[in-house]
A and B are shown apart, each in its own frame.
Chain A
Amino acid sequence: VKTMKNIFYNHTRAACIVGLALMLFSCGLISTEIIYRQNRDADFSSAPPAASAKNSILSTVVGELEGLIGDILVLKADVYFHGMSSYTQYLNRHSDCHLDHDHEHHQHEHEDGFNHFLYNKYRKICPTEHVHLDDDKEILPWLAASMRLNPHNIRAYIISSYWVGQRLKKWDQAEKIFHEGIRYNPKTWQLYYELGKLYAIKEEYQSALVQYNNALKVFPEKMSEEDAFDCANLWRSVGGSHEKLGDYINAVAAYQKVVKLNPCEKSLEKLQKLVHKKETTINNQ
Chain B
Amino acid sequence: MSAAIVAIGNTLIKELLRRKEVFLMLFLALAILIGAASLSFFNVDGIEKYLREISMNITMLFTVLITIGLTARQIPLEIERKTLYPILTKPCSRWQFLLGKYFGVIAAAIISLIFFHASCLLVFFFKGIKPGFVYVEAVILQICGLGLLAAMALFLSTILSSPAAVVGIGLLAYFFFKWFGANIELLIDRSSGALGTIVPLIYTIIPHFEFFDLSQKVIFSSMYAPVGILDMLFFVGYAMVYSTFFLSVSWLIFRKKQL
> Which residues on A are within 8 Å of B, measured CB to CB?
8-10, 12, 15-16, 18-19, 22-23, 26, 80, 83-86, 89-90, 92-93, 113-114, 116, 118-119, 121-122, 124-127, 131, 133-135, 137-138, 140-142, 144, 160, 164, 168, 170, 173, 177
The stretch from B18-26, B106-114, B125-133, B200-208 touching chain A is: B200-208
A26-B175 contact given A86-B185, A170-B42, CB 8 Å threshold: yes
Query: Mostly helix, strand, loop or mixed at chain B's interface?
Result: helix
Name A173's contact: one of B43, B50, B162, B182 (CB within 8 Å): B43
A93 and B208 alpha carbons, distance in the complex (Å): 22
Rounded to whole Å, the gap between the CB of A130 and the closest CB of chain B is 12
Asked if A84 and B43 make an inter-chain contact with CB atoms under 8 angstroms apart, the answer reads no
A83-B220, A114-B188 known; 5 new pairs, CB 8 Å cut-off, are A12-B162, A83-B224, A126-B210, A140-B41, A177-B42
A122 and B206 alpha carbons, distance in the complex (Å): 14
Asked if B204 and A125 make an inter-chain contact with CB atoms under 8 angstroms apart, the answer reads no
A133 and B224 alpha carbons, distance in the complex (Å): 11
A93-B185 contact given A125-B216, A140-B42, CB 8 Å threshold: yes
Query: Mostly helix, strand, loop or mixed at chain A's interface?
Result: helix
Name A121's contact: one of B168, B211, B222 (CB within 8 Å): B211
**Across the two chains, which residue of chain A brings its CB closest to B169?**
A19
Q: Which residues on A sit within 8 Å (CB–CB) of B168? A: 15-16, 19
Q: Which residues on B sit within 8 Å (CB–CB) of A90? A: 185
Asked if B184 and A119 make an inter-chain contact with CB atoms under 8 angstroms apart, the answer reads yes
A137 and B46 alpha carbons, distance in the complex (Å): 8
A162 and B204 alpha carbons, distance in the complex (Å): 44
Does B70 have its Cβ within 8 Å of any Cβ on chain A?
Answer: no
**Across the two chains, which residue of chain B brings its CB closest to A32?**
B190
A140-B216 contact given A9-B161, A19-B168, A122-B211, CB 8 Å threshold: no
A125-B211 contact given A16-B165, A138-B47, A173-B43, CB 8 Å threshold: yes
**Across the two chains, which residue of chain B brings its CB closest to A21?**
B172
A183 and B60 alpha carbons, distance in the complex (Å): 39
Name B165's contact: one of A15, A141, A160 (CB within 8 Å): A15
The stretch from B2-10, B61-69, B87-95, B227-235 touching chain A is: B227-235
Q: Which residues on B sit within 8 Å (CB–CB) of A85? A: 216
A134-B222 contact given A125-B231, A142-B50, CB 8 Å threshold: yes
Rounded to whole Å, the gap between the CB of A244 and the closest CB of chain B is 28
Asked if A125 and B42 make an inter-chain contact with CB atoms under 8 angstroms apart, the answer reads no
Asked if A83 and B42 make an inter-chain contact with CB atoms under 8 angstroms apart, the answer reads no
Name B50's contact: one of A86, A133, A141 (CB within 8 Å): A141
In B181-220, the 8 Å CB interface with A consists of 181-186, 188-189, 200, 203-204, 208, 210-211, 213-217, 219-220
Does B259 have its Cβ within 8 Å of any Cβ on chain A?
Answer: no
